[in-house]
Chain A
Amino acid sequence: MSLEVQLLLLLWGTLVGLDLVSVPQIMIARPIVAGPIAGALLGDVRTGLEVGVLFELFQYDVLPMGATRYPEYGPATVAAVSAAHAAAGAPGIGLGALVGLVTGMLGGASLHVLRRLNAGAVRVAAGALEAGDARVLMHVHVMCIVRDGLRAALVTAVGLALAEAVRFVAGALSVRGVTLLGVAAVAAAVAAASAGTLRVVGRGPSLPWFIAGVLGGALMAWVR
């Protein structure tokens, strides 16, 4: 993979990471968007779509409410697509999931660190903020966004480095081993999405709609 493509992926992962919390929250951070665009940058939209759907399923397990800690699947999906692209098809998705889940965990931890750093910056500026200094207010805010941009870039860079490392490991795996990784990735994603969605749906009035959706989707899948 050329350096230009790697840099484009890094830029895309950074934008995706910024979108999750900081700006502008237009949901390019969703794996279903981050994956296909990363795939397009690699000239492999199909892998991007597959990995995007896989991580979108993992995303259904996450509700980003309040101060909860959760994995960050946006830059993770970009790194996962990079890994999966190297070994397209069934082998790719397992290796992509491995890279993506590790990167997602790292991204979640980095968000926690960022929030603590932001709290420190706000504490330092507390006097000026309490005096109603609008310039300091804006400066603190902008620096926090810059900090998040650097965080997102770092997480993406680590993810892309992991993807490169996995490429070397992939050659040592047997066909059966690689297939098992793919099976594990898809099974975990489906299980996470089902349990996560059902947790949100609960036993209230939405449950019959969920059952109707599953039956309708299963029927469509069977007919196709």
Chain B
Amino acid sequence: MSGTAINVLYFAQVAELTQVRQESWPLEGPISGADWLTQLEQRYPQLAPAKRLKLAVNQFHARPDSVIQPGDEVAVFEPVTGG
């Protein structure tokens, strides 16, 4: 990954709604998870039915105040349903 983008992964229903499973997303500097989610919802209005979007940053569950940095791997998904 370059230092000016994040690698975004979409899973399950989120991937079906965006019709993308992975993409590079330009990011120049740090941003909070909550602020980035707002950008995501602007880009993909079809995500509106997926009410409870969750993020993982570099494969760790993230919170709204978690910081996303250029170069990070960010995953977007609904609450998990394994087990």
Question: Do the two shown chains form a genuine complex with each other?
Answer: no
